[in-house]
Amino acid sequence: MFGFFVLNIVYLILVAINRPKRTTEIEMKQLLKKRPLIISGPCSAETEEQVMDTANRLAATGMVDVMRAGIWKPRTRPGTFEGVGTKGLPWLQHARKATGIPLAVEVATARQVEDALHFDVDILWIGARSVVNPMSVQEIANALKGSDVPVLIKNPMNPDIDLWSGAVERISIAGITNIGLIHRGFSTYGKHKYRNPPIWHLAIEMRRRYPDLMMICDPAHISGRRDLIQSVSQKAIDLDFDGLMIESHRDPDNAWSDAKQQVTPEVLKSILESLIWRERTSDSEPVMAVLDEYREVIDQIDDELMQLLAKRMSMAERIGEYKKDNKLTILQTSRWNEILERGMNLGKNLGLSYEFVSNFLESVHMESINHQNRVMNS
């Protein structure tokens, strides 16, 4: 009996020694400072063989810092593959042990957080479908209290930057100090070139609000098509994103989820090698001196634009007074159509995009209406 007891103790010690360990806190802090940070792996963990094969091929590229894999898959509609669940977490542990690459998984509930932490997952991320619901984010935040795991937060499905900010605040209040952002595009009505149009200015605004947080781009979910991943990635790099999360699969066409937007590890390497990586600044004083001169010109032009806009609003107020005295309505549809058509034609001839000119004229028009409305009701 004593011998059996000793054998059991020895067995438990061996299991503890050989158990794939989570990346240390120091190692993780160093990793998260790396630029660019590359995260890749299958949309979904399907089988242990698939996970191991993909992991080994990702490791062979020498370009992947973190391996991602979906264990739980919150889907828009029922009847689609929703992940293998907790049984897939040991597969990821084995992949980490074999390759040395840290792991990242998506969590959407407190139980999923607990399971992921139990299996020593290195990085968690909160998906777009969870971020739209503050109660879901709060549940995740509560489950994270007391842990030191890094958390990446995707933008919400709908283009609402306050929801994104709210998620950051909830996770921060829970005591998580390593927080990052993932821009995966937004779901909008109608047909578009991209599965989830990027609406870059919202990501830029989020970066302005949280300049110290790492921001990763997910070009696979933005594009929805593997042939667009490279161009979206380059755009993100040019906008000073800190890294990329790109889905990769050993056999993308037969993937159990999001087949169209996944690439093989070998294609991933080709995409990464084709990208032009740019620096945020330069140590060359002559280079920065010229850039500063250009920026001074831009500042002067911006000042002139503000003065012209203020002059235009002053004129709009005079028109408002005239309309008030003559009992005319503020909105003159025929005049607005005339301004719009004239402005669009001029903008086109000057090389300005349709979207920019349209948004600009609409904003100026609405501000003019607001000024005239104040005059009318004074």
Which CATH number applies to 285-376? 1.20.59.10
In tens, the pLDDT along 220-231 reads 999 999 999 999
Residue 21: per-residue pLDDT: 61
* Residues 222, 184 contacting (CB under 8 angstroms): yes
Q: Are strands 37-41 and 123-126 parallel, antiparallel or unpaired?
A: unpaired
Q: How far apart are CA 284 and CA 358, in angstroms?
A: 39
Greatest C-alpha distance within the chain: 106
pTM: 0.82
| pLDDT of 9 over the 70 cut | no
Q: Which residue in this structure is represented by tokens 């149009």?
A: 197
| pLDDT of 373 over the 90 cut | yes
Lowest mean pLDDT among 25-29, 97-101, 150-154, 217-221: 25-29
Q: Which residue in this structure is represented by tokens 């609409």?
A: 362
Residue 107: per-residue pLDDT: 97
Instruction: Say which residues have a Cβ less than 8 Å from residue 232's Cβ, sequence separation at least 6.
Output: 194, 198, 217, 219, 222, 223
Confidence band for 246, pLDDT divided at 50, 70 and 90: very high
| pLDDT of 14 over the 60 cut | no
Instruction: Say which residues have a Cβ less than 8 Å from residue 306's Cβ, sequence separation at least 6.
Output: none
In tens, the pLDDT along 275-291 reads 999 888 888 999 999 99
Q: How far apart are CA 221 and CA 233, in angstroms?
A: 11
Taking residues 330-356, report their average pLDDT: 95
Residue 3: per-residue pLDDT: 52
* Residues 152, 103 contacting (CB under 8 angstroms): no
Reading phi first (left if > 0) and then psi (alpha if -120 to 50, else beta), residue 6 is in: alpha
Lowest mean pLDDT among 16-30, 124-138, 144-158, 297-311: 16-30
Q: How far apart are CA 146 and CA 174, in angstroms?
A: 8
**Fold agreement (22-274, 285-376):** no
**Domain residues of the chain, as ranges?**
22-274, 285-376
In tens, the pLDDT along 101-145 reads 999 999 999 999 999 999 999 999 999 999 999 999 999 999 999
Taking residues 29-39, report their average pLDDT: 91
CATH 3.40.50.450 matches 22-274: no
